[in-house]
Amino acid sequence: MIDLKLYDRLFGVGCHQLKFNGLFLQGTADIDGRDMAVIGTRDHAAIDGTIALQISAAILQVVSEDTVSGKSPRPIIFIADTQGQALSRHEELLGLNGYFAHVVRCVDLARRHNHRLLTIISGEAVSGGFLAYGMMSDCICALPDAQVRVMDLRAMSRVTKISLERLEDLAKASPVFAPGAENFWRMGGIHEIWTEQDNWPQRLIDALDKATNSDARAAIGLERGGRHMAAPIKSLVVNS
């Protein structure tokens, strides 16, 4: 049995119709008469080629349905819960990066077709799996328990040959490498972190209303004091 508590809390009891296929989910929701499409993964899915194709097919289906029906394009809510890409020789042989690139292209198509795109991070958002679809939307929101990271500090310590103690110490002052939704928020990589007390359907609607299709994350990161270099370096190059 799949626990529907999360989706009840996000959209309201009886306000969503979701189909589950393995760790992939797809369906619709309706908050106060506003229709939206829902696409996501659950249970910390490792994204392999099969799941990537399920995500891209679902996006293409939404774009196609709204094109055919002539209705105004529905928002797409991505529910991201991924431990990252599947680690497998078979997947690498077939070019998993190309499957992820295809997902990215499909997300971009939806944006160009005026679908508002919103990501809700539940559970985990890690590295490549997160990059492929969760990070491509117009607005990225994290639930209170969300774990966001590229790599844990222990593994990072091994690769960079910097002691774990030193990394843990530096992580207190800098949001730049340590895991955590709060760190990504400060750097502009996450737009909102919701709290346990929040009315999530209301926050979702508010986030949809506020979102735009331009990428302002570098400016947001500068404003929040977590990413000082990105925005000015970009401007420096643009104005060269």
- Scan residues 4-43 and list those touching other proteins (CB under 8 A): none
Binding mask 97-126 toward other proteins (x if CB under 8 A, else -) reads xxxxxx-xxx-xx--x--------------
**171/205 with CB nearer other proteins:** 171
Q: Which of 110, 44, 107 is nearest to 80 (CA)?
A: 44
- Give yes or no for a contact between 76 and 29, defined as CB atoms under 8 angstroms apart: no
- Token pair 């690769």 is found at 159
Please report how close the Cβ of residue 191 comes to other proteins at its closest, in angstroms. Answer: 12
Q: Which amino acid is at 182?
A: E
**85/122 with CB nearer other proteins:** 85
**174/202 with CB nearer other proteins:** 174
Tokens of residue 228, six digits? 């000082």
Tokens of residue 235, six digits? 């401007």
45-47/117-126 β-pairing: unpaired
Establish if 170 lies at the interface with other proteins (CB under 8 A): yes
Binding mask 188-217 toward other proteins (x if CB under 8 A, else -) reads xx-------------------------x-x
| Cα atoms in the Cβ-side hemisphere of radius 13 Å centred on 196 | 1
Q: Which member of 40, 49, 75, 123 binds other proteins (CB under 8 A)?
A: 49
Q: Does residue 113 sit in helix, strand or coil?
A: coil
**59/207 with CB nearer other proteins:** 59
Please state the separation of Cα 82 from the chain's center in Å.
9
Q: Which member of 26, 85, 122, 147 binds other proteins (CB under 8 A)?
A: 85
Site for other proteins in 61-80 (CB under 8 A): 63-64, 67
